Structure 1
């Protein structure tokens, strides 16, 4: 396995007062050709939006857009008529297709902390759709909860036409997203899936910055990513890494700190 770290201090970063945000990939004023996308994965923004503020109504098209709520409440409104208050554990997915307009704002009197993630759909000009799912902390405790999966992945419980329900949200991209709350001393394996394109199987890992906003050197939870061939990388909150491996081979994530680590793991461009 090849590991290419993406340290928190190297991410794009902006503090607008009402919004404190980190960009894993090129976004808005932050542009970096070396970190523009990873296969179909185009955006990972870790956002903190202050109370009574947010993103006003704006358009999107031809992206799969999902929000993973870490803390606080997120108010969503869109041109399809959806109005929803999303809380910790909620996963919202908007398949923008031919075009939608939406707003995302902090609801109530507290800041909302969430990850905004975009992927590129496999099929263009789809009809817009909206989905919500909920995954409790218990469902993610020391196990991988698959929260997003391709529409064809019925084996993991995808209900591709249901706005709400159990199982992963159905994404129109060759992409899985898994989440865990990993206890100190615990480790979880993950197998590299077969890739749809040459160049090896791909994963991306991100350690959520749960202990609080920190634009400096990452602290808080700490994990180690490794395989059985000696490849090892230590990551702190806010850090991520590109993982390149051989289909069928296993890697592991271990919590080597003294705090619970909230970890997101993407399988990218998979069959």
Structure 2
């Protein structure tokens, strides 16, 4: 079963350095507009952000998006109009289902920079009541396996409450998996059934920047992404790839570098 893989190189992403914020945009966002990279199914935003100590995003509104943060390093303080106050640390996943509207702020907490992914998805229904969720996943849970850390709220094993074990609930047809892949290790993943029978199974992979900015496949960590029996594409830190194929087609993710790679993988519009 064939798999099509189209790389999205880090140096081609939207990029801004505001001093207090160093950010990379996989999809069109803020002043970066590229209609060939506007969204992928319900996946609308993947921003890789580094916020300097004692700075952050002031209070601002959102509505009709599922907005979640995946903390890579440092600590992120979150306040919102629903009364939630959290300090998020490495391994935390915080989900804000904005629904009919919320306001929130995010700041670096403590004396160091915070590095995190901010991800937005389009909900499967408009006008939902705003909700907040928080989950934690250890490095051990993600080492050399694809840990499912976000899943649709109505999926088996997903608990619709603020804090609970298991995946973070999301009101979208989206699954997110995370892994720490050791050198010379290969993970496999079967592409899931899409929500629409007329569409191919879709996924998106992103390799988190751990060694610096735009290190490329020649420096930092490297993974090779391929379908069964295919040569595949090598991705460096900050790179991503659009993936499409037949339902249950096998995706292979091999660490071909000399260090642990942290990756996130999204099953997009999956049933």
TMscore range, shorter length: over 0.9
Give the Cα–Cα distance (whole angstroms) in 1 for the partners of residues 243 and 62 of structure 2.
Answer: 29
| 1:125 positional shift | 0.4
Give the Cα–Cα distance (whole angstroms) in 2 for the partners of residues 61 and 90 of structure 1.
Answer: 23
Provide the TM-score with structure 2 as the length reference.
0.97
Instruction: Tell me the SS of whatever aligns to 1:165.
Output: coil
| 1:199 positional shift | 2.8
Provide the TM-score with structure 1 as the length reference.
0.97
Preserved CA contact (<8 Å) 2:224 2:253? yes
- Structure 2 residue runs of 5 or longer lacking an equivalent are none
Match of 1:202 in 2: 202
Preserved CA contact (<8 Å) 1:9 1:216? no
Match of 1:263 in 2: 263
Give the Cα–Cα distance (whole angstroms) in 2 for the partners of residues 231 and 60 of structure 1.
Answer: 42
Preserved CA contact (<8 Å) 1:96 1:129? yes
2:21 is aligned, of 19, 25, 28, to 19
TM-superposition CA deviations, 1:186-238 (whole Å, max 9, x none): 110000111122231000000000123x1464631100001123140000000
Task: Please state if 1:138 is matched with 2:140.
Answer: yes
Give the Cα–Cα distance (whole angstroms) in 2 for the partners of residues 45 and 188 of structure 1.
Answer: 25
Match of 1:211 in 2: 211
Preserved CA contact (<8 Å) 1:3 1:231? no
Task: Please state if 1:233 is matched with 2:266.
Answer: no
| 1:165 positional shift | 1.4
Give the Cα–Cα distance (whole angstroms) in 2 for the partners of residues 59 and 151 of structure 1.
Answer: 23
Match of 1:184 in 2: 183
| 1:104 positional shift | 0.4
| 1:184 positional shift | 0.3
Match of 1:245 in 2: 245
Match of 1:75 in 2: 77
Instruction: Tell me the SS of whatever aligns to 1:9.
Output: helix
Give the Cα–Cα distance (whole angstroms) in 2 for the partners of residues 115 and 241 of structure 1.
Answer: 16
Instruction: Tell me the SS of whatever aligns to 2:205.
Output: strand
Instruction: Tell me the SS of whatever aligns to 2:7.
Output: strand
TM-superposition CA deviations, 1:15-49 (whole Å, max 9, x none): 00000000000000000000000000000000000
Residues 55-204 of structure 1 aligned to structure 2 (within 5 Å): 55-154=57-156, 157-160=157-160, 162-197=161-196, 198-204=198-204
Aligned-residue Cα RMSD (Å) equals 0.9
- Structure 1 residue runs of 5 or longer lacking an equivalent are none
TM-superposition CA deviations, 1:74-112 (whole Å, max 9, x none): 000000000000000000000000000000000011000
Preserved CA contact (<8 Å) 1:62 1:97? yes
